Amino acid sequence: MTSQMEKHGSAAPSHRLSRAEALSQLREARTIEKGPVSLDAVAMPVAVLNEQRQVIFANLAFREFVGARSLEDLCGDRPGELLGCANANGACGDSEACEFCGAAQAIRETQRTRRVAVRECNISVGTADRKPAYDLQALTSPFEIGGKPYVLISFSDISHQKQRQSLERIFFHDILNTASSFKVYLDLLRRGTADEGSLGLISRLSVISDTLVEEIEGQKVFVSAENGTLQCQRNLIESTSIATQLMEQVGGLEAAKERSIQIAPFSESFSFVSDDSLVKRILGNMLKNALEASPARSVVTIGFGKGTDDHAWFNVHNPTYIEPVVQKQIFRRYFSTKGRDRGLGTWGMRLLAEQYLGGSVSFTSTPEEGTTFTLALPLRPLDF
């Protein structure tokens, strides 16, 4: 029967080679240094592990990372022991705590499958003269020396990334709570006020608070999408309904003043399956960009229909032409014609459409026809 520790990639205390045997493997491994590409040229810490998960070779970055002066100093030890892991205790990979160690899991997976494995691991350091913990990403891949199987392991420090993600979660949670509370109190104030002048001011503040919440939610979505942590939903969406909702939502923005939004006459009512919040996010950005780019008394249209290839499409059109030099940069990250600290809009639309909805975002722009952005989506995702 498979034990719980074996199931998760850990095991009972395992056999180790003696130091003399490990040094013998080191002598064989030194042929790596004479190869066409030296591991010392690799900036990240890299080590070669034998079948007993002992380090028998390491590049300069790894030696500096663990404070070893020479290859002989670290030869025969396991990665956690060299890193000062508080759970290793001379048995890296064999203790109960190793059951949940990403590095140990990655090593065992590569040994078992002879394939690349990637895991995150948090290593608590037990010595007083080192930082209390490492947040690392371990990448393991199969490796051979003289026809014998080894594991190549590299570590990258993701501490700043993990800290940033944690701060982002806290920030978005707190600021959304604050903005939502502001909106609730405005609604209560409106119900208790009869003066028309005050009601008009409160109504305007409500629009601003709605926009604030929407912008925060949008930024949260883009950050999650960039981090690869965004979770998609699957909803049944009706084309005319979602277009109407977006027209009402965007129609109250400052950019919509002296401009109108209309549904294109060729539009077709139909239903499809996708993540409605992400579809709204993409089309909402298209509409906002179209309004901001259009002169006063312009008409922006949103059209939609079904293609012959089991895809739905949405078009957002405005009469303004985009110059060629801008067209070439339109989907670049951080590029914007609106000034500095902008530019997630078009880049973010493509990111969400392609990586999360299985669709695409494209555009055409000519002096005669103006500009049209198109969102194409499968009528039914492959994983539905």
SS (H, E, C) the chain: CCCHHHHCCCCCCCCCCCHHHHHHHHHHHHHHHHCCCCHHHCCCCEEEECCCCCEEEECHHHHHHHCCCCHHHHCCCCHHHHHCECCCCCCCCCCHHHHHCHHHHHHHHHHHHCCCEEEEEEEEECCCCCCCEEEEEEEEEEEEECCEEEEEEEEEECHHHHHHHHHHHHHHHHHHHHHHHHHHHHHHHHHCCCCHHHHHHHHHHHHHHHHHHHHHHHHHHHHHHHHCCCCCCCEEEEHHHHHHHHHHHHHCCHHHCCCEEEECCCCCCCEEEECHHHHHHHHHHHHHHHHHHCCCCCEEEEEEEECCCCEEEEEEEECCCCCHHHHCCCCCCCCCCCCCCCCHHHHHHHHHHHHHCCCEEEEEEECCCEEEEEEEEECCCCCC
Average pLDDT, integer, range 217-236: 81
Task: Based on the fold, state whether residues 301 and 267 are members of the same structural domain.
Answer: yes
Task: Based on the fold, state whether residues 178 and 56 are members of the same structural domain.
Answer: no
Average pLDDT, integer, range 30-55: 82
What local confidence, expressed as pLDDT, does residue 98 receive? Answer: 83
Task: Based on the fold, state whether residues 25 and 122 are members of the same structural domain.
Answer: yes
Please list, in sequence order, all residues whose beta carbon lies within 8 angstroms of the beta carbon of residue 227, skipping any fewer than 6 positions away: 165
Task: Based on the fold, state whether residues 205 and 280 are members of the same structural domain.
Answer: no
Instruction: Please state the pTM of the whole predicted model.
Output: 0.57
Task: Based on the fold, state whether residues 70 and 133 are members of the same structural domain.
Answer: yes
What local confidence, expressed as pLDDT, does residue 191 receive? Answer: 79
Predicted confidence band of residue 48 (pLDDT cuts 50, 70, 90):
very high
* Domain range for 16: 4-157
Task: Based on the fold, state whether residues 218 and 361 are members of the same structural domain.
Answer: no
pLDDT beyond 60 at 10: no
Average pLDDT, integer, range 267-274: 95
What local confidence, expressed as pLDDT, does residue 218 receive? Answer: 73
Task: Based on the fold, state whether residues 304 and 337 are members of the same structural domain.
Answer: yes
pLDDT beyond 60 at 12: no
CATH code (residue 129):
3.30.450.20
pLDDT beyond 90 at 195: no
Closest alpha carbon to 62 in 72, 74, 50, 76: 74
For residue 109, how many other CB atoms are within 10 A of its CB? 18
* More confident of the two residues 122 and 60: 60
pLDDT in tens, 124-156: 775 555 456 778 899 999 998 888 999 999 998
* More confident of the two residues 130 and 74: 74
What local confidence, expressed as pLDDT, does residue 229 receive? Answer: 78
Domain stop point among 121, 140, 157: 157
Task: Based on the fold, state whether residues 127 and 172 are members of the same structural domain.
Answer: no
Strands 299-306 and 260-263: parallel
Q: Which amino acid is at 372?
A: T
pLDDT beyond 90 at 115: yes
Domain stop point among 202, 230, 258: 230
pLDDT beyond 80 at 203: no
What local confidence, expressed as pLDDT, does residue 290 receive? Answer: 94
Task: Based on the fold, state whether residues 191 and 127 are members of the same structural domain.
Answer: no
C-alpha 152, offset from chain centre:
26
Total number of domains constituting the chain: 3
What local confidence, expressed as pLDDT, does residue 6 receive? Answer: 40
Predicted confidence band of residue 33 (pLDDT cuts 50, 70, 90):
low
Average pLDDT, integer, range 305-332: 91
Task: Based on the fold, state whether residues 169 and 236 are members of the same structural domain.
Answer: no
Task: Based on the fold, state whether residues 245 and 361 are members of the same structural domain.
Answer: yes
The full length of the chain comes to 384
Domain stop point among 157, 179, 198: 157
What local confidence, expressed as pLDDT, does residue 169 receive? Answer: 64
Average pLDDT, integer, range 208-220: 74
CATH code (residue 323):
3.30.565.10
Task: Based on the fold, state whether residues 236 and 226 are members of the same structural domain.
Answer: no
Average pLDDT, integer, range 55-74: 91
Average pLDDT, integer, range 266-277: 93
